[in-house]
Structure 1
């Protein structure tokens, strides 16, 4: 069997969830598990999420999968529903929805549901993605308040710059001005806000990337927030080559040896989810020691210089990211974010779950 695998650690997930509680002890926790739990596997992680107060997903089939698995706590559809059929399904299975445009309200007003729905009413406070603009928000709330298909209403918005120096001040002021006359539970804080802005914690926090042990703040290591990586993505050395000075390596010959160089060929490539654009110098771990990627990542293989690691042989373990090499360090080298790499691990990679 090909050695590329991803090991998911439930103990690390539980640890990170506990860190959320330490940052926001008074708030309920809506753990965000969209995109198949950020590539980790929704049902694989479910046993590690028993201390969460609810789960946030994107698609209704994910919510139904959770209900079929016996999950009975709140589930929130983060983009709401896309049809009246989905609205009826949400009602039948006690699934909460985000309402972010007038068509959602019209749908609720016209549907005769088996059971009223819990709603999270979203404001566009500056992200300019989804939500009612501030001037329309109170009227949307009043419409929902009068709608028989609606049970509890929660207020929410999403911060665009919680992870950088601009922070949340401007959006928070917009939200607070627009909700002066509304009394309802509030959900504002994503991972970066949970860590950096206690004033945004309110009634529900929505941790995402921090649950998986990656950093929500660019340039700051996840470990500095007390987080542990949940996924260890690894493989093995499957061949060793020796380049002479002047010889090139791999497609495009993007690495040319300046001296005799011992090269490890690693069984992982972009078809496994490793970024093809990772340049020379991207960190990699071989036999428990930090090393660097060389040459162009191909579909099934990649390379590293092991000239100074004589103990490395065919079969030596390679960590692509995990405990030694953070996913954020690989992402930074490749010009992307840890979120993308975690979500991109391919179906052909074998997953294992450990405590």
Structure 2
């Protein structure tokens, strides 16, 4: 019987999630750690991630539907919803499921005020320089007067936390500090990068990408930050072809063999979440040996130079990223970020959960 699943698989090491949470908690000191598990836990599976991250102080998601799914699955910890509500029904559901909503614009506040009390707990998000979501600093006092005791915390978000030396970070921190001083409320500002590189962590931190084993610092090394990869993306080698000098490989004939060489075909492509824009030379592991992507990535397949891996045979598993091969490096080769790769592959591939680790590719 043939499998209905595509061959590529994303192996999720839940022990690595537990480890990375310990790293975040150690760096956070006395601050509460709110584990961010939005977008299906960055492609790792939200419910499984919540189970592995049970020692976090709470969870954060993007949408109300994600939060309700967690509650329905039996998650009891506090859950913060970044996008907040958009209707009276949303606020009613948030109260029913005991969720904390973010208010990030005055229109949401208008909608809340016409919703019968009791209201759900609220975190008020302020735009200190990100320019994306958050009420203006000048509107904070009036918003707090309207919210009363419902508002439990102020929050904001750093635009350039992945580049710690960027002066906008200190500008935003200064603005946020002033808000906390004048309002007397607790605050939450730091994401993964801020946790690792900025001293003032406030009352609560919100680690995301670091929990999944990717460095939150631009150009950073996850291993040096004691982070372990959680997702290992693997797919089988399904063909080995002999090519002559001058033969072209793949769509557009972009790659031309510089020598007589063996070329491997691996059963994964952009239909499985592997980045189409990964360039020739992007590393792939086969039997623990680093080989190079050659030619263009297609929907279901990619090709590799097998000259370094002389023992490779059909059926061997290739590691596209994960244990032994940093997802950050692959993202760099594809001119993107690890967030996108993890979310895409996790949404496209069959996930398998392993608390012991993965076999080497």
1:52 to 52, 56, 71: 56
Partners of 1:96 and 1:178 in 2: how far apart?
Answer: 21
CA deviation map 1:41-95 (0-9, x unaligned): 1112222011011111111111111001111111111011122111111011101
- Is the Cα contact below 8 Å between 1:54 and 1:75 reproduced in 2? yes
- Is the Cα contact below 8 Å between 1:117 and 1:152 reproduced in 2? no
**Which aligned pairs between 1:110-121 and structure 2 lie closer than 5 A?**
110-113=114-117, 115-121=118-124
**Which aligned segments of 4 or more residues in structure 1 are displaced greater than 6 angstroms?**
none
**Which aligned pairs between 1:1-150 and structure 2 lie closer than 5 A?**
1=3, 2-113=6-117, 115-145=118-148
Partners of 1:32 and 1:278 in 2: how far apart?
Answer: 28
Name stretches of at least 5 consecutive residues in structure 1 with no aligned partner.
none
SS in 2 for 1:229: coil
Corresponding residue of 1:285: 285
Partners of 1:123 and 1:232 in 2: how far apart?
Answer: 37
Partners of 1:111 and 1:181 in 2: how far apart?
Answer: 28
- Is the Cα contact below 8 Å between 2:276 and 2:297 reproduced in 1? yes
SS in 1 for 2:239: strand
Corresponding residue of 2:162: 163
SS in 2 for 1:85: helix
Corresponding residue of 2:179: 178
Corresponding residue of 2:192: 191
Q: Which moved more, 1:259-268 or 1:169-178?
A: 169-178
Corresponding residue of 1:210: 210
SS in 2 for 1:352: strand
How many Å apart are 1:224 and its aligned residue? 1.2
How many Å apart are 1:106 and its aligned residue? 1.4
Partners of 2:255 and 2:125 in 1: how far apart?
Answer: 50
Name stretches of at least 5 consecutive residues in structure 2 with no aligned partner.
356-361
Q: TM-score, normalization: structure 1?
A: 0.96
Corresponding residue of 1:244: 244
Corresponding residue of 1:351: 351
CA deviation map 1:148-173 (0-9, x unaligned): xx534201110001111205211111
How many Å apart are 1:175 and its aligned residue? 1.6
- Is the Cα contact below 8 Å between 1:265 and 1:304 reproduced in 2? yes
